[in-house]
Amino acid sequence: MSARARIITGLAVITLFAGTALGPPGCGSDDEDGSKTPKKDASSDTSQDGSGGSAGSGGSAGSGGATSDTYSVKVVPDAKGLQVGKSRLQLEVTTLSDGKPVPALADSLLLNPLMKMQSMSHGAPVPVDAVKESATPGVYDATLFFSMASGTMGDWSLEVSLGGEPIATLPIKVDEAPGTDTTHVSLKHAADTIKTPMGTDKARNWFVFRDTLAASGAGHDFEVFLATVQDGNLVWPPVTVGLKLRDTAGKEKLTVQSLSMQASTDGATWTPMTCGVTARCKASLSGLGKGAKSDVLIKLAVNGVDYTTDGNAVDPTQKNGFATFSVTAP
Question: Who wins on pLDDT, 249 or 255?
Answer: 255
Domain boundary among 172, 194, 220: 172
Is residue 291 in some structural domain?
yes
pLDDT score of 282: 98
> Is 279 in the same domain as 314?
yes
Is residue 179 in some structural domain?
no
**Residue 250 CB-density burial (10 A; 0-12 exposed, 13-18 middle, 19+ buried):** exposed
> Is 311 in the same domain as 254?
yes
User: Distance between terminal CA atoms of the chain?
Assistant: 55
Rg (CA), the chain: 20
Confidence check: pLDDT of 250 > 60: yes
Domain boundary among 172, 205, 221: 172
DSSP state of 43: -
Contacts of 199 (CB under 8 A, 6+ apart): none
> Is 126 in the same domain as 271?
no
* Reported confidence tier of residue 61, pLDDT bands at 50, 70, 90: very low
* Reported confidence tier of residue 41, pLDDT bands at 50, 70, 90: very low
Rounded to two decimals, the pTM is 0.81
pLDDT score of 169: 77
Identify which of 223, 190, 191, 229 has the alpha carbon closest to the alpha carbon of residue 207.
Answer: 229
Contacts of 319 (CB under 8 A, 6+ apart): none
Domain boundary among 152, 172, 192: 172
pLDDT (tens digit per residue) in 294-309: 999 999 999 999 999 9
Is residue 226 in some structural domain?
yes
> Is 249 in the same domain as 291?
yes
What's 51's domain CATH number?
Answer: 2.60.40.10
CA distance 300 to 84: 22
Is residue 218 in some structural domain?
yes
> Is 158 in the same domain as 194?
no
Domain extent at residue 148: 3-31+43-172
Is residue 271 in some structural domain?
yes
Q: Which of 99-103, 136-140, 167-171, 178-182 has the lowest mean pLDDT?
A: 167-171
Q: How many CB atoms lie within 10 A of CB 198?
A: 9
> Is 197 in the same domain as 312?
yes
> Is 166 in the same domain as 289?
no
Phi-psi region of 95 (alpha: psi -120 to 50; beta: other; left: phi over 0): beta
Is residue 245 in some structural domain?
yes
* Reported confidence tier of residue 66, pLDDT bands at 50, 70, 90: very low
Is residue 294 in some structural domain?
yes
pLDDT (tens digit per residue) in 1-12: 333 333 232 333
Is residue 178 in some structural domain?
no
Q: Are 42 and 30 in contact (CB under 8 A)?
A: no
Average pLDDT, the chain: 82
Contacts of 217 (CB under 8 A, 6+ apart): 284
Mean pLDDT of 308-329: 97
| pLDDT above 90 as % of the chain | 62
DSSP state of 330: -
Q: Which of 47-51, 188-192, 211-215, 315-319 has the lowest mean pLDDT?
A: 47-51
> Is 148 in the same domain as 49?
yes
Confidence check: pLDDT of 174 > 50: yes
Count of structural domains within the chain: 2
Question: How distant, in Å, are the alpha carbons of 24, 274, 283, 292 from that of 155?
Answer: 8, 35, 35, 35
> Is 159 in the same domain as 229?
no
Q: How many CB atoms lie within 10 A of CB 212?
A: 14
> Is 203 in the same domain as 303?
yes
